[in-house]
Structure 1
Amino acid sequence: MECIFCKIVAGKAHGEVLYQDDLVTAFRDIHPIAPVHLLIVPNRHIASVNHVDAADEPALGRMFRVARQLAAEMGIAESGYRLSVNTGFDGGQAVHHLHMHLLGGRRMRRMG
């Protein structure tokens, strides 16, 4: 098991886990770029969006529901937040385990 996110999911590496169930785990990003910066990952290793198949749909749906729940718990649901998934080198994916960034707590810059 070389993937750091797989290790966090399994409890074999440090991560400030805020949510975990049978499909997904959410934890704080160790290099936050916003006051609230969480990562939401499927528990099963999926390298990127390019590796998603139909069997992954329950976990992907759960990731969005957990994002909504955590945004409310962090007090950013009303003011707004950003969800982002980076894919591949050019997309800025640093860890090759599919993950969703939940960013908020300040006004986000426009993309583009």
Structure 2
Amino acid sequence: MMTEDFYCDEVLSGKTLVNKVLETNNVLAYYHTRPFYPIHIVAIPKRHISSLITLEENDNELLLELFDVIKQVASKVTEEHGACRVMTNLGDYQDSKHLHWHIISGDPIK
């Protein structure tokens, strides 16, 4: 069962160890702890923001840093695997209420 904010409660607190892909002062990208795809990386801001639609104007600098990390990770995945998807979920589709982006490649794991 997912907590309300898995990323703050588990990942950023250090309770759940993750395999980091790229980290900056404000952003962390790591391999998903329970992947749904052969390549499944999650990128998150280190500061709590509940979702894409709750971003505020003062979040613009952080958002640019987050997208730079996503771009770097997506470029690497595309180079190594030929393609990737970048997506986020909102509303009922968003299990953890912390802004996060999935960088995925391959068919869903069954």
> Same fold by TM (over 0.5)?
yes
Which runs of 4 or more aligned residues in structure 1 lie more than 3 Å from their structure 2 counterparts after TM superposition?
A: none
| Unpaired stretches in structure 2, ≥5 consecutive residues | none
Q: Greater helix percent: which structure?
A: 2
TM alignment of 1:93-104, pairs within 5 A: 93-104=94-105
Is the 1:26–1:39 contact (alpha carbons within 8 Å) kept by the matching residues of 2? Answer: yes
2:5 pairs with 1:3: yes
2:51 pairs with 1:48: yes
TM-score scaled to structure 1, two decimals? 0.77
Question: How far does residue 64 in structure 1 lie from its aligned partner after superposition?
Answer: 2.0
What SS is found at the alignment partner of 1:32?
A: coil
TM alignment of 1:31-42, pairs within 5 A: 31-42=34-45
Distance 1:21 1:103, change over 3 A: same
Larger RCO: 1 or 2 (CA < 8 Å, sep 6+): 2
| Unpaired stretches in structure 1, ≥5 consecutive residues | none
User: Which string of whole-angstrom CA distances, capped at 9 and with x for unpartnered residues, describes residues 54-96 of structure 1?
Assistant: 111122222222122123434x24722111010111xx10111
State the superposition RMSD in angstroms.
2.2
What SS is found at the alignment partner of 1:46?
A: coil
Number of aligned pairs?
A: 103
TM alignment of 1:71-90, pairs within 5 A: 71-74=74-77, 76-77=78-79, 79-89=82-92
What SS is found at the alignment partner of 2:37?
A: coil
Paired amino acid for 1:103: I
- Measured in 1, the distance between the counterparts of 2:14 and 2:68 equals 23
Paired amino acid for 1:4: F
Question: How far does residue 107 in structure 1 lie from its aligned partner after superposition?
Answer: 6.3
Question: How far does residue 49 in structure 1 lie from its aligned partner after superposition?
Answer: 1.5
